[in-house]
């Protein structure tokens, strides 16, 4: 009996230690990925959801969702604030412009004119859609408060989508690494699919 209690306590301590390291790391990486779109943030959220699904610890998946959504929101707001300063400068938001092709920027501007801040939600869910829409918001001189109102549901929807992918991967396989592999594969396919399709359609 004592051995069982000791084993349970050891397992609980191990899970607590993993969470103490894992959640701050997840938070920082998603903030970094929102500021510099080179970190695969969607894959991070899906992988964390797979691990949380297999741990079956109370509230783990809820924590993954909250951490992911809040980190994405902070990163977006920080990038938008920096972008507003850049737009006012002599050279403008060159860093954002370099990542927003003219055709996609024009499409984002049309979407913003037709649908307002609702387009922010779609931009978070469409691969490579966030930066063109954010730049369109900057060029339209959208106030930060208005951007925040649109970005909150966008980040919640984004976190929910990639967590759902992780839960799907975790539910299909008995081992966490198998679910992580599937989740990462799906997120990479989602991210790379539209670009690959556009290349194939070029004459």
pLDDT in tens, 82-119: 888 766 555 545 555 555 566 667 777 787 778 788 88
184 token code pair:
């990462």
Q: Using the 8-state DSSP alphabet, how is residue 203 labeled?
A: -
78 token code pair:
């920080």
Task: Decide: 33 and 39 in contact? Cβ < 8 Å.
Answer: yes
Helices (H), 36-93: 41-55, 60-88
pTM: 0.76
Q: Using the 8-state DSSP alphabet, how is residue 36 labeled?
A: S
pLDDT in tens, 23-44: 899 999 999 988 887 778 888 9
Task: Decide: 131 and 37 in contact? Cβ < 8 Å.
Answer: yes
92: helix, strand or coil = coil
Sign of CA dihedral 119, 120, 125, 131: positive
138 token code pair:
């900057």
Task: Decide: 60 and 18 in contact? Cβ < 8 Å.
Answer: no
Q: Using the 8-state DSSP alphabet, how is residue 140 labeled?
A: T
Q: Among 12-21, 73-82, 113-122, 179-188, where is mean pLDDT lowest? A: 12-21
pLDDT of residue 184: 75
Report which of 161, 164, 185 is spatially closest to residue 53, judged by C-alpha positions.
164
pLDDT of residue 84: 81
Mean pLDDT (the chain) is: 76
pLDDT in tens, 132-171: 888 888 888 888 999 999 999 999 999 999 999 888 888 8
């Amino acid at each position: 009996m004592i051995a069982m209690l000791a084993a349970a306590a050891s397992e609980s301590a191990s899970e607590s230690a993993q969470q103490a390291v894992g959640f701050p790391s997840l938070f920082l990486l998603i903030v970094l990925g929102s500021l510099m779109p080179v970190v695969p943030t969607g894959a991070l959220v899906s992988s964390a959801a797979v691990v949380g699904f297999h741990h079956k610890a109370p509230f783990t998946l809820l924590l993954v969702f909250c951490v992911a959504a809040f980190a994405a929101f902070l990163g977006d707001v920080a990038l938008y604030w920096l972008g507003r300063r850049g737009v006012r400068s002599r050279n403008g938001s060159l860093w954002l412009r370099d990542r927003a092709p003219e055709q996609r920027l024009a499409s984002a501007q049309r979407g913003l004119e037709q649908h307002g801040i609702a387009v922010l939600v779609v931009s978070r869910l469409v691969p490579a859609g966030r930066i063109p829409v954010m730049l369109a918001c900057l060029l339209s001189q959208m106030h930060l408060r208005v951007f925040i109102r649109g970005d909150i549901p966008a980040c919640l929807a984004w976190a929910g989508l990639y967590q759902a992918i992780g839960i799907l991967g975790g539910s299909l396989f008995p081992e966490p690494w198998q679910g992580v592999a599937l989740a990462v594969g799906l997120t990479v396919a989602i991210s790379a699919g539209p670009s690959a399709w556009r290349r194939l359609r070029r004459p």
